[in-house]
Amino acid sequence: MRLIILPGDGIGPEITDATLRVLEAASARFGLGLELRRMEAGRAALEREGTTIPPAVEQAVREADGLILGPMDTYAYAGQGANPSAFFRKAFDLYANIRPARTWPGLRSPTGAEFDLVVVRENTEGFYADRNMEAGNAELLVTPEVVVSLRRITRACCDRIAAAAFRLAARRRRRVTAVHKANVLARGDGMFLESCRREAAAHPGIAYDEVIVDAMAAHLVRHPGRFDVVVTTNMFGDILSDLAIELSGSLGLGGSVNAGERFCMAQAAHGSAPDIAGQGVANPASLILSAGMLLGWLAERRGGGHAFAAAADAIETAVAGAVAAGETTRDLGGRLGTAAMGEAVAGRVAVEA
């Protein structure tokens, strides 16, 4: 299996180095035969080649089995080049953003409650102006004092994200919660709920309920343990998944993949944190967990088989073990630097049964 690695900006190269060490340990232990090819996108590519996504990078990604994308400081070069994250999500039709959030042994959640949920977020349309038009941008400057931002919702995208949520719930605790704002966005979120209700009717063994988005934010804080799989539209999912991950103890523990029918991109749930870049203190767990999720997707969709599934489980177990043992960076209460935490997790992947 060939994976393209794009380290990104800010802390990206540091957490990518740590992640690659873990992947190398997993590949050696489980005989995965991973081919890891590191290339440049984002600020480094813009400075060197005048574009954030060089043609050679795009071609290499198209020929690969998966992509690992480090955090990008897209705000810093907005208007100078494409947002790599948005570009790959749209170009490869990566319609499902999957973000687990759970509590970890040895790390107290701000809520004090244990939970284990997954946010399944539609990833290709919604209020995101850079990806919901065939050409141009869906944010319009009508006059110097008036901006209109358009949201695109399509039945096809609603159908497939609802189906993805129910497939995932069938492998978990068999409960789906659809989050919406149909009391205000009656047509768009109404269409989304229609798709979710059809899937619910087709899966009578899976419990189903609906929650308005503002109430959902309160429920996550008060009793997150009631939720299993949460499915929602793009912007709501972006916000709620960050909230859920932070409630687990740290946004740095948020794994994330962007999955389509034929391709998957692993991506840390957080940003590039330029204020701590180069200091060796960044938490690499989010990208490590994301890489593990990519291996799990490869096991299911690309014929990776049992070895890839076992490697994915081993990576999550190793991160949990490192957190419980305090083998972490300072944001999680430990004393290790970025590279040392990566080595600690890699060591656990290499030897744990």
Residue numbers annotated as active site = 128, 181, 214, 238, 242
How far is C-alpha 164 from the geometric centre of its chain's CA atoms? Answer: 15
The angle subtended at Cα 124 by Cα 183 and Cα 84, nearest 5°, is 135
Pairing status of strand 229-232 against strand 175-180: parallel
Q: CA–CA separation, 107 vs 250, rounded Å?
A: 9
Contacts of 69 (CB under 8 A, 6+ apart): 6, 8, 41, 84, 85, 88, 265, 266, 267
Is residue 227 a contact partner of residue 117, using CB atoms and an 8 Å limit?
yes
Which spans in 262-304 are helix H?
285-301
Q: How far from the centroid of its chain's Cα atoms is residue 156's Cα?
A: 22
Distance CA 315, CA 303 (A): 19
